[in-house]
Amino acid sequence: MEKLKYERPVITKINAGMPDKFGMKSKHRIINKIDNVSVNDLLKEYGSPLFIISEKKIRDTYNEAYRAFSTRYPKVQFAWSYKTNYLDAVCKTFHKLGSWAEVVSGFEYEKALANNVNGGEIIFNGPSKSKEELIKAIKNGSMIHIDHFDELYTINEISNEIDEKPKVAIRVNMDCGIYPMWDRFGFNYENGEAWSAIKRIMLNNKLELVGLHTHIGTYITSVSAYQVAAGKLAELTALIDNVYQHKLKYIDLGGGFASKNTLKGAFLPGVDTCPSFDDYADAITTALINSTIDHNHMPLLILETGRALIDEAGYLAGTVVANKRLTSGRRAVILDTGINLLFTSFWYDHQICPTTENTQHAEDTTMYGPLCMNIDCVRDHILFPSMEKGDTIVIPRIGAYNMTQWLQFITYRPNIVMIDTTGKTHIIRKKEDLSVFKNQETVPLHLK
Ligand SMILES: *Cc1c(COP(=O)(O)O)cnc(C)c1O
């Protein structure tokens, strides 16, 4: 029998705080395999830290979301939100499943084209599109979602200069009970700005108004907000038909569905509070079906869901660099995965899971990253089992926004691998090295 490992005795303060609904007992989720592939084997092969994406999880999540909407409404189309995760392998997985592309910059637009997305299946959103980018998108037959009047005037100008008829929609912002209201994007519903933009578009016969768009916010756990938003867009759709006898092709409800992550300060874990795709689908499709839109001409329902489709499919694996004791007596752990790779740790209390069960004992701990920077704190406090230098961890549910908002700060960005549906792993973005920087930088001659 193996000799039991020595565990250093510690005295920990019992916090007589709020128990969770399961009582005070701490439970540590262990993650040692992802899709049956050993995490430690992956770390050995591809280095630590390492981003891991499960293709199977993407597919399963997408199919669940598509099913929720398509069983409740006749015409449904998802458009993959590039900024949530624009790794080509991730985008291609969504496109193979039938998703269009939703982009918010010229860069993302180019990425979608390079991923072979048909111009007619790219939705161009965002407050800042250059005239050149607009011309290119209009010539490709993409859907332009107008954000403000100045953009509308630029498109009017373009419509006089080129032969293609721009396909446009307006982004509408509205009061649907979510505060602060995201009124910085699009045209307001309540004060008549949206209707006024619609009138200007309908007066220009060189533009084709194809749809209406809204994106009410992100991580929205209130399904009734979506019901209100869908209802308001449906009213505008019916009004356009009444006044102009013009039938819109689609209503686009944007993204914003919550993922199962836990927001900082939340009492209950996100897994318990996050609505299901069925809940969102019910709210949205009920509003559309109960609206005054002509039932013989129901518009296509477009969804630009980002976070809720990819968060669960992404993992960040890493290694314990050191254990520390702070002057207060508090335990601290340094990980090789910092806020540079985990930007979402600014608003989520990310779960951090050991890869092995080594002790039942846990202590309130602060988790730091590897950066020489005071802000690099992944968790202020987490009840965490004792771990030694070199032990490995997995941070689940990080597929959304981290691989796009990551900071190239102090360290190279690590490998990203995808586990395909057969369990084979592929590098989908290789670790950076000095050559990445050498390629971009030049030193003036007099400094060489
Ligand atoms: C960011 C964004 C999305 C995706 O939002 P999620 O909260 O990740 O679902 C969709 N549409 C637009 C216009 C966006 O800006």
Tell which atom from ligand 1 comes closest to the C-alpha of 401.
8
Q: Has residue 251 got a pLDDT over 70? A: yes
Residue 361: phi, psi to the nearest 5?
-75, 135
> Which ligand 1 atom is at minimum distance from the Cα of 400?
8
Ligand 1: centre distance to CA 243 (Å): 31
Residue 169 has pLDDT above 80, yes or no: yes
Percent of the chain with pLDDT over 70: 96
Mutate to test the pocket of ligand 1, among 90, 102, 109 (most ligand atoms within 8 A of CB): 102
Cα–ligand 1 centroid distance for 47 (angstroms) = 32
Between the CA of 68 and the centroid of ligand 1 the distance, in Å, is 19
Predicted structure pTM score:
0.94
C-alpha closest to that of 134 among 98, 172, 163, 166 = 166
In the prediction, which pLDDT does 16 show?
44
Give yes or no for a contact between 187 and 215, defined as CB atoms under 8 angstroms apart: no
Span 47-70, pLDDT tens digits = 999 999 999 999 999 999 999 999
Q: What is the pLDDT of residues 128-140, one digit of tens each?
A: 999 999 999 999 9
User: Quick one: pLDDT band at residue 211, thresholds 50, 70, 90?
Assistant: very high
pLDDT value at position 17?
42
Lowest mean pLDDT among 227-231, 384-388, 431-435: 384-388
Tell me how far CA of residue 85 lies from CA of 14, 93, 267, 368, 378, in angstroms.
41, 12, 28, 25, 21
CATH numbers and ranges of domains, the chain: 33-53+312-434 (2.40.37.10), 55-310 (3.20.20.10)
Distance 69 CA to ligand 1 centre (A): 18
- Tell whether the model's pLDDT for residue 417 goes beyond 90: yes
* Ligand 1 centroid, distance to 321 Cα (angstroms): 35
- Decide which of 385 and 288 is more confident: 288
pLDDT score recorded for residue 8: 73
Nearest CA to ligand 1 atom 7: 256
Question: Exposure of 338 by Cβ count < 10 A (0-12 exposed, 13-18 middle, 19+ buried)?
Answer: buried
Q: How far is the CA of 253 from the centre of ligand 1 (A)?
A: 10
Cβ neighbours of residue 137 closer than 8 Å, sequence gap 6 or more: 109, 119, 122, 124, 129, 144
| 107: number of Cβ within 10 Å | 13
Whole-angstrom CA distances from 252 to 65, 93, 299, 375 are: 15, 22, 9, 38
Instruction: Write the DSSP string, 237-262.
Output: HHHHHHHH----SEEE----B--SPP
Q: Which atom of ligand 1 is nearest to the CA of 256?
A: 7
Q: How far is the CA of 380 from the centre of ligand 1 (A)?
A: 28
Cα 420 from Cα 426, distance rounded (Å): 8
Mean pLDDT for all residues in the chain? 94
List, for residues 173-197, the tens digit of each pLDDT value. 999 998 888 899 999 999 999 999 9
Query: Which of 85, 304, 305 for a ligand 1 pocket mutation test, highest count of atoms within 8 Å of Cβ?
Result: 304
- Percent over 90 (pLDDT), the chain: 88
Q: Are 378 and 334 in contact (CB under 8 A)?
A: no
- Listed in sequence order, the residues at least 6 apart from 78 whose beta carbon sits closer than 8 Å to its beta carbon are 62, 65, 66, 94, 98, 99, 100, 302, 303, 304, 305, 309
CB 253 within 8 A of CB 301: yes
For tokens 């518009």, the residue is: 299
Query: How confident is the model at residue 347, as a pLDDT?
Result: 92
Distance 77 CA to ligand 1 centre (A): 15
Candidates 77, 83, 122: which one to mutate for ligand 1, based on the most atoms within 8 Å of Cβ?
83
- Checking if the pLDDT of 253 tops 70, the result is yes
Q: What is the pLDDT of residue 18?
A: 46
Ligand 1 site residues (CB inside 6 A) read 81, 83-84, 102, 104, 125, 215, 218, 254-257, 304-307, 400
% helix, strand, coil for the chain, step of 5: 35, 25, 45
Number of H helices and number of E strands within the chain? 13, 20
Q: Which ligand 1 atom is nearest residue 305's CA?
A: 9
What's the gap in Å between 9 CA and the centre of ligand 1? Answer: 48
Q: What is the pLDDT of residues 5-32, one digit of tens each?
A: 887 776 665 444 445 566 655 567 999 9
